[in-house]
Amino acid sequence: MISRREVLAATAAGAVMTAATARAASFGNPDEPPQGAINAKNPGSVTDPGPQNPAVAGQFPSAVSPPPTDVGSLQMDWASFNNSPRRIQDGGWARQVTQSTFPISDTISGVNMRLSAGGIRELHWHQAAEWAFMTYGNCRVTVLDTNGRPYVADVKEGDIWYFPAGYPHSLQGLGPDGCEFVICFDNGAASEFNTLLVTDWFIHTPPSVLAKNFGVPAETFAKMPLHDLWIFQGKVPGELSAVKKAMTGKAGAPPYPFTFSLGSSAPVSETKSGKVQIADSNNFKVSTTIAATLITMQPGALRQMHWHPNADEWQYYIKGKARMGVFDTGPNVLTMDFSPGDIGYVKRNFGHYVENVGNTELQFFAVFRTAQYEEISLSDWLKHSPPEMVAEHLNIDPATISEWPDDGPLIRPG
Ligand code: MN
Ligand code: MN
């Protein structure tokens, strides 16, 4: 015999499950058991009475209340320079996000650096290649290639540079107010706080060896600093042409520049909704391990659904408010929010899109550890598959497929 109470309990549970199932198995709400605030029948299911930090939580509406299409447990794809400790010295500062604090980012680590006018990032080299994007001001960069050919250039906002691994270089802020930039190393573990510094080597070499090496008396080096400099305040340097002349020797100049104006380069795609600019080894010859895109999007616009077959994507958000959705097998789907100074990361072949969810222009750059930029567009692929077959997958009218866009890296209107 079944008691009246058991019958009521079973009926209530059945009724709840039926209602939830009906909502879950619907357009835009696919999962079992159903997820998302839309499936929370009891209002208490979505409130957050516990301790919280509204200033932080307010930046992540997609984490506080994910779309009901989100599912699973993708590795965290958000990090930020905004909460990374700054190493401040006279002449500037730097902060970094490496794989030690951002585990997903195994191919790229990021450094955000500020140099005052005259501020010098000491002459150094390192194990990883260095790619950088100027976000502010003016900077002078120097580098020497393996044939002893020197290069010097002044860069401005929107410009990039690339130094192959091991190539020795320097950076110095220019007038009127120095510079700020973001460096990407082609190794997620690389650290700006652990580079080969010219002062470190001088200080830790016997003076007799220095004397032989440079053909001068050992006393020449008697007043060297006893500690490395890393970043220090120098004099604002003189005219570029004079410096170039002073640096040039018998070996001449390198065949290709180590700097490139990504911000003023011709877009590969431009509509009223935004534009995509690309710098890789095709147009920026020296950049053999980093390809980059600069994306500019108007409010409401969508960087269309796509993926990259040849590399992970490391993003830096320059301005505006973005929401990115990332898809992997499982299914696993994660939606996150990005503000200026934030970093995003997408594994190779994971499907993704970026929306401008603010009311101002959105701009970010993305770098890939590869010589050539590659992308597959979902729309392009499906438009160039058999229409009847695609229609059968999605239960749609095949006639609509011919209207889908197929013109490359694209920003869709809002
Ligand atoms: Mn460096
Ligand atoms: Mn992408």
Which pLDDT tens digits describe the chain residue by residue (414 residues)? Answer: 444 444 444 444 444 444 444 455 689 999 888 899 999 999 999 999 999 999 999 999 999 999 999 999 999 999 999 999 999 999 999 999 999 999 999 999 999 999 999 999 999 999 999 999 999 999 999 999 999 999 999 999 999 999 999 999 999 999 999 999 999 999 999 999 999 999 999 999 999 999 999 999 999 999 999 999 999 999 999 999 999 999 999 999 999 999 999 999 999 999 999 999 999 999 999 999 999 999 999 999 999 999 999 999 999 999 999 999 999 999 999 999 999 999 999 999 999 999 999 999 999 999 999 999 999 999 999 999 999 999 999 999 999 999 999 887 788 888
C-alpha of residue 124 to centroid of ligand 1, in Å? 6
- Ligand sitting nearest the alpha carbon of 410: 2
Q: What is the 3-state secondary structure (H, E, C) of 197-259?
A: EHHHHHHCCCHHHHHHHHCCCHHHHCCCCCCCCCEEECCCCCCHHHHHHHHCCCCCCCCCCCE
**313 CA distance to ligand 2 middle (Å):** 6
pLDDT at 51: 95
Radius of gyration of the chain measured on its C-alpha atoms: 27
Spacing of C-alpha 58 from chain mean position: 22
CB of 131 closer than 8 Å to CB of 184 = yes
Q: How far apart are CA 49 and CA 52, in angstroms?
A: 8
Q: What pLDDT was estimated at residue 24?
A: 55
- Rounded to whole angstroms, the Cα distance separating 289 from 367 reads 10
Note the pLDDT of residue 32.
87
Output helix, strand, coil percentages for the chain, rounded to the nearest 5.
20, 35, 45
Sorted by sequence, the CB contacts under 8 Å of residue 349 that are 6+ apart come out as 307, 308, 309
**Ligand 2 centroid to 328 CA: how many Å?**
14
What local confidence, expressed as pLDDT, does residue 414 receive?
A: 84
Give the Å distance between the CA of 5 and the centre of ligand 1.
73
Per-residue b or e along 88-119, where b marks 16 or more CB atoms closer than 10 Å to that residue's CB: eeebbbbbbbbbeebebbebbbbbbbbbbbbb
**pTM for the whole thing?**
0.93
Please report which ligand is nearest the Cα atom of 373. 2
In this structure, are strands 150-156 and 130-144 parallel, antiparallel, or unpaired?
Answer: antiparallel
Catalytic residues: 121, 124, 126, 130, 169, 192
Measured from the alpha carbon of residue 327, the closest ligand is 2
Closest listed ligand to the CA of 344: 2
CA of 307 from ligand 2 middle (Å) equals: 6
The alpha carbon of 296 and the centre of ligand 2 are apart by a number of angstroms equal to 13
**Can you tell me the distance from the alpha carbon of 129 to that of 131, in angstroms, rounded to the nearest whole number?**
7
